[in-house]
Structure 1
Amino acid sequence: MAFAVTVDLVMLTVRQDALCALLVRRAIPPYESAWALPGGFVREDEDLTDAAVRELSEETGIQREAAHLEQLATYGTPARDPRARVVTVAYLALLPAAPTPKAGTDAAEAEWCRVADLPALAFDHDRILEDGIERARAKLEYSPLATAFCPPEFTIAELRAVYEAVWSATLDPRNFHRKATTTPGFVVPTGRSTTGDRGRPAQLFTRGPATVLHPPLLRATPPTT
């Protein structure tokens, strides 16, 4: 019985105030011409993370240093791949900018797609992508992961825009500013401000030393009926 291991990448960024995921259109069977997550088979002499980094580069042209990368979950439903018994290890990658992707050898094209307007995906990639999005949304509550979507120096308004895009919610600017700047170790002022001809200068911040946010920045709980 054939057995293989693959890696799949849930790559997320914020573009034009919307959370976007990177998808590739498959150029080979199965699911030829369908949209899917970037990924591929793990080589015999390759570590899982090394395979994820390689696929990141081969299928998109994006380098490891440009992304926050962490292991998401393992998926092994027997019939998930019609070719053989395939187990995939999914990785979550977050990027502060959205470089123009480059389709790899087994992809016809690669494109950033708004998560609010996603097409049906090949294999079980709908589930994997959904899990990755929820991981990102949850971690924004109790970790400084939102800064992974930001440049090295950012304003509180830019940080708030990340939360609003990932959570698909509108946040009160003053309340968010107070929480972000008073949460110990979350953000640190750089002593510099934005410059330009439009609007008032805004204070610039960088990520602080905290690995856990206490108190957390919780998402609004929908009312129960």
Structure 2
Amino acid sequence: MATSKTVRPRRPPASLAVTVDLVIFTVRDGQLQVLLIKRGNVPYRGEAALPGGFVRDGEALDEAARRELREETGVASDSLHLEQLHAYGDPGRDPRGRIITIAYLALGPDLPMPLAGTDASAAHWIPVSAILDGQITLAFDHEEILRDALERARSQLEHTTIATAFCKEPFTIADLRQIYEAVWGVPLDPSNFRRKVMKTEGFVISVGERRLPDIGRPAALFRRGLAETLTPPLTRSGSFSC
């Protein structure tokens, strides 16, 4: 005789929501800066935070990131390098409930002043150093996200040509060096840096023109080359630092 199996009732799905948060870096006035908003809604109303928001039904993650970028800051995604950074899902990270966020890293050249919208009451470029030094605190776990994004950006400058995403074309080797110095936070020897860049095939391509400075010799102009990775890498501990 067949025995009946005990049917256990299914547990109802836990309440779960997904957001996207954006770490947007640019170099302004020789400093690495990040775009922060002033939150207009609870929780953390009035506090500094990374721009972001909830993913809508039927919306892809990348699509949500581009929408939030546009709605909260007025910055167009087509002017940026945009990539997924990491997922953050600590159960206590958001007082509104079980919310997982997908963080994105965005890089752009000397981006314009942002325009706040939707649930952001203001948006500003802030030096990353002000957050790392504790002068500014961020809502949620956004400082952890920012620090992870900073390390990703620093590492990518070692192994890829992503530094050119910070440069408006055409640019000089000095312009490119200033990007490395701002992101890494260390001074670099100009001669050693130039030699390493020029020896890396496909990193930069000469446009055959020169920029006339107010003082000094004309500087050769370049654009981004076809290479995506740097072989050998330009390591932070390399010999071209001062």
Residue 124 (structure 2) aligns with: 111
User: Partners in 2 of 1:181 and 1:18 — Cα distance?
Assistant: 24
Q: Please identify, of 100-109 and 48-57, the stretch whose mean Cα deviation from structure 2 is larger.
A: 100-109
Amino acid corresponding to residue 209 of structure 1 in structure 2: L
The DSSP-based 3-state class of the residue aligned with 1:130 is: helix
Between the aligned residues of both structures, percent identity stands at 55
Deviation at 1:196?
4.8
Deviation at 1:195?
2.9
User: Partners in 1 of 2:94 and 2:159 — Cα distance?
Assistant: 35
User: Partners in 2 of 1:142 and 1:42 — Cα distance?
Assistant: 32
- Counterparts of 1:28-177 in structure 2, within 5 Å, are 28-118=41-131, 119-177=136-194
User: Partners in 1 of 2:125 and 2:237 — Cα distance?
Assistant: 27
| Equivalent of residue 26 in structure 1, options 39, 44, 52 | 39
| Equivalent of residue 201 in structure 1, options 201, 214, 218 | 218
Q: Deviations over 1:92-138 (max 9, x none)?
A: 00011221101121111101000111211000001000000110000
Deviation at 1:164?
0.2
Equivalent residues of 2:137, 2:143 under 8 A apart? yes
Amino acid corresponding to residue 216 of structure 2 in structure 1: G
| Equivalent of residue 4 in structure 1, options 17, 35, 38 | 17
User: Partners in 1 of 2:203 and 2:39 — Cα distance?
Assistant: 40
Deviation at 1:197?
4.2
Q: Deviations over 1:47-83 (max 9, x none)?
A: 0000000011111111111100000000000111111
User: Partners in 2 of 1:81 and 1:124 — Cα distance?
Assistant: 8
User: Partners in 1 of 2:107 and 2:140 — Cα distance?
Assistant: 22
Deviation at 1:152?
1.9
Q: Deviations over 1:140-170 (max 9, x none)?
A: 0010010000012100000000000000000
Deviation at 1:199?
2.6
| Equivalent of residue 210 in structure 1, options 217, 227, 232 | 227
Equivalent residues of 2:34, 2:126 under 8 A apart? yes
Residue 192 (structure 1) aligns with: 209
The DSSP-based 3-state class of the residue aligned with 2:115 is: coil
| Alignment length (residue pairs) | 221
Amino acid corresponding to residue 22 of structure 2 in structure 1: L
Structure (1 or 2) with the larger CA radius of gyration: 2
Unmatched 5+ residue regions in structure 1? none
User: Partners in 2 of 1:214 and 1:197 — Cα distance?
Assistant: 35
The DSSP-based 3-state class of the residue aligned with 2:62 is: helix
Amino acid corresponding to residue 192 of structure 2 in structure 1: N
Deviation at 1:194?
0.7
| TM-score, length-scaled by structure 1 | 0.96
Equivalent residues of 2:213, 2:219 under 8 A apart? no
Structure 1 stretches of at least 4 aligned residues deviating more than 4 Å after TM superposition: none
User: Partners in 1 of 2:71 and 2:49 — Cα distance?
Assistant: 15
| TM-score, length-scaled by structure 2 | 0.89
User: Partners in 1 of 2:111 and 2:52 — Cα distance?
Assistant: 18
